[in-house]
């Protein structure tokens, strides 16, 4: 169950609008390595996890990603306030504008709508944790790429916060993978699916 | 930053620290030092939340003492004024 708190995880207050920047940052809302995919991936992967620590981590990180989705939505919203048609045209924001006006829609930077392929769930915890580890690094690289095009400290500050969280989550997923393999036969971790073939856990 | 924003930022800082500790505890559930730190932050943020909600309106729907539904009041988190 989820309870909403009327506060962003980290403040977003952007004084100057910049639709050109909104056009690329939207990719972390609904792009291939964005926060929507991240939250749904972890909140879906958790169901088939065989250890309580893994269920807890995926629940809590999946929930945190919803906070990050809200932050990215806020950044896009604030970057596109009070625009004139001329500013929209000049920034190349017109292609987005005709379909969504200044609403926040989950799409990649190139305009591709959110694709559920971003929510990878294999039902094997070793496979899914590797997916999650890779996802954190892909999101980190995307934030690094976004930062190359940012010169507004009001935008740089929350983007840096989000980038740092990817690194922390990567650390936690690494610990998840170690907690899991510590309970398996070290001669061959990959002979079984630990969610499906329960006999693969070491006898106590 | 006005007084309301400063108080909200302080609350947010505590809440974030607690979230970060939570995901650490998920993989280190026996770490008593971090558990103690989490409890300390919870104790420290509680009066700040109470003060904020009394003056500026609810952060969650748990509390609604007044006879109007204060939850709907602006600003919402994505507003510039938040």
3-state secondary structure A131-161: HHHHHHHHHHHHHHHHHHCCCCHHHHHHHHH
pLDDT computed for residue A198 by the predictor: 85
Q: How far off is chain B from A86, nearest CA to CA, in Å?
A: 23
pLDDT computed for residue B62 by the predictor: 80
Closest CB to A168: pick one of B15, B20, B59.
Answer: B20
Closest CB to A57: pick one of B20, B23, B61.
Answer: B23
Alpha-carbon gap, residue A180 to B77, rounded angstroms:
38
- The string of pLDDT tens digits covering residues A44-60 is 999 999 999 999 999 99
Q: Which of A1, A3, A6, A161 to mutate to test the interface with B (most CBs of B within 10 A)?
A: A6
Q: How far off is chain B from A202, nearest CA to CA, in Å?
A: 20
- The string of pLDDT tens digits covering residues B15-71 is 999 999 999 999 999 999 999 999 999 999 999 999 999 999 999 988 666 778 889
pLDDT computed for residue B82 by the predictor: 87
- The string of pLDDT tens digits covering residues A115-169 is 999 999 999 999 999 999 999 999 999 999 999 999 999 999 999 999 999 999 9
User: What are the chain B neighbours of A78 within 8 Å (beta carbons)?
Assistant: 78, 80
Provide the ipTM.
0.95
Alpha-carbon gap, residue A99 to A172, rounded angstroms:
39
- The string of pLDDT tens digits covering residues A70-99 is 999 999 999 999 999 999 999 999 999 999
**Residue in chain A lying closest to B56 (CA):** A6
Alpha-carbon dihedral angle through residues B13, B19, B21, B26, given to the nearest 10 degrees: 180
Which residues, in sequence order, are CB contacts of A45 under 8 Å at separation 6+? A58, A121, A128, A131, A132
**For tokens 């969650």, what's the residue?**
B60
How distant is the alpha carbon of residue A187 from its chain centre?
A: 34
Provide the residue ranges of all domains of chain A, joining segments of one domain with +. Answer: 19-200
Alpha-carbon gap, residue A161 to A8, rounded angstroms:
12
User: What are the chain A neighbours of B20 within 8 Å (beta carbons)?
Assistant: 168
pLDDT computed for residue A204 by the predictor: 62
Alpha-carbon gap, residue A184 to A124, rounded angstroms:
14
pLDDT(A199) > 90: no
**Residue in chain B lying closest to A77 (CA):** B78
Cβ of B15 within 8 Å of Cβ of A5? The answer is: yes
Alpha-carbon gap, residue B50 to B58, rounded angstroms:
9
**Residue in chain B lying closest to A78 (CA):** B80
- Closest to A172 (Cα-Cα) out of A69, A70, A62, A67: A62
Architecture of domain A19-200: Up-down Bundle (1.20)
Q: Does B44 touch chain A (CB under 8 A)?
A: no
Total-model pTM? 0.96
Q: Does A7 touch chain B (CB under 8 A)?
A: yes
> Is the Cβ–Cβ distance between B23 and A61 less than 8 Å?
yes
Q: How many CB atoms lie within 10 A of CB A192?
A: 17
Going by pLDDT thresholds of 50, 70 and 90, the confidence category of residue A188 is very high
Cβ of A3 within 8 Å of Cβ of B16? The answer is: no
Average pLDDT of chain A, as a whole number: 97
Provide the residue ranges of all domains of chain B, joining segments of one domain with +. Answer: 3-72
**Residue in chain A lying closest to B70 (CA):** A6
Helices (H) and strands (E) in chain A, counts: 8, 0
For chains A and B, count residue pairs whose Cβ atoms are closer than 8 Å.
71
Q: How many CB atoms lie within 10 A of CB A179?
A: 18
Cβ of B27 within 8 Å of Cβ of A53? The answer is: yes
Closest CB to B27: pick one of A6, A64, A176.
Answer: A176
- The string of pLDDT tens digits covering residues A3-44 is 999 999 999 999 999 999 999 999 999 999 999 999 999 999
């Amino acid at each position: 169950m989820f309870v909403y708190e009327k506060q962003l995880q980290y403040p977003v207050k952007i004084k100057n609008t910049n639709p050109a920047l909104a056009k690329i940052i939207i990719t972390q809302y609904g792009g291939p390595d964005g926060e929507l995919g991240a939250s749904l991936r972890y909140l879906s992967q958790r169901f088939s996890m065989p250890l309580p620590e893994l269920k807890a981590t995926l629940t809590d990180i999946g929930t945190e990603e919803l906070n990050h989705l809200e932050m990215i939505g806020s950044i896009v919203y604030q970057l596109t306030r009070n625009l004139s048609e001329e500013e929209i045209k000049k920034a190349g924001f017109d292609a987005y504008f005709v379909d969504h006006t200044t609403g926040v829609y989950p799409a990649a930077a190139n305009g591709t709508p959110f694709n559920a392929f971003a929510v990878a769930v294999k039902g094997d915890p070793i496979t899914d944790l590797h997916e999650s580890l890779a996802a954190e690094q892909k999101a980190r690289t995307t934030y690094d790429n976004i930062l190359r095009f940012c010169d507004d400290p009001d935008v740089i500050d929350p983007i840096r916060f989000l980038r740092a969280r990817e690194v922390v989550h990567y650390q936690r997923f690494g610990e998840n993978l170690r907690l899991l393999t510590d309970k398996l036969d070290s001669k061959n971790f990959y002979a079984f699916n630990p969610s499906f073939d329960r006999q693969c856990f070491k006898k106590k | 930053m006005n007084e309301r924003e400063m108080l909200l930022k302080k609350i947010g800082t505590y809440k974030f620290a607690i979230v970060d500790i939570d995901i650490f505890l998920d993989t280190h559930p026996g770490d008593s030092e971090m558990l103690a730190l989490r409890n300390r932050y919870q104790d420290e943020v509680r009066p700040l939340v109470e003060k904020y909600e009394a003056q500026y309106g609810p952060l969650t729907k748990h509390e609604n003492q007044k006879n109007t539904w204060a939850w709907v009041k602006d600003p919402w988190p994505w507003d510039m004024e938040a």
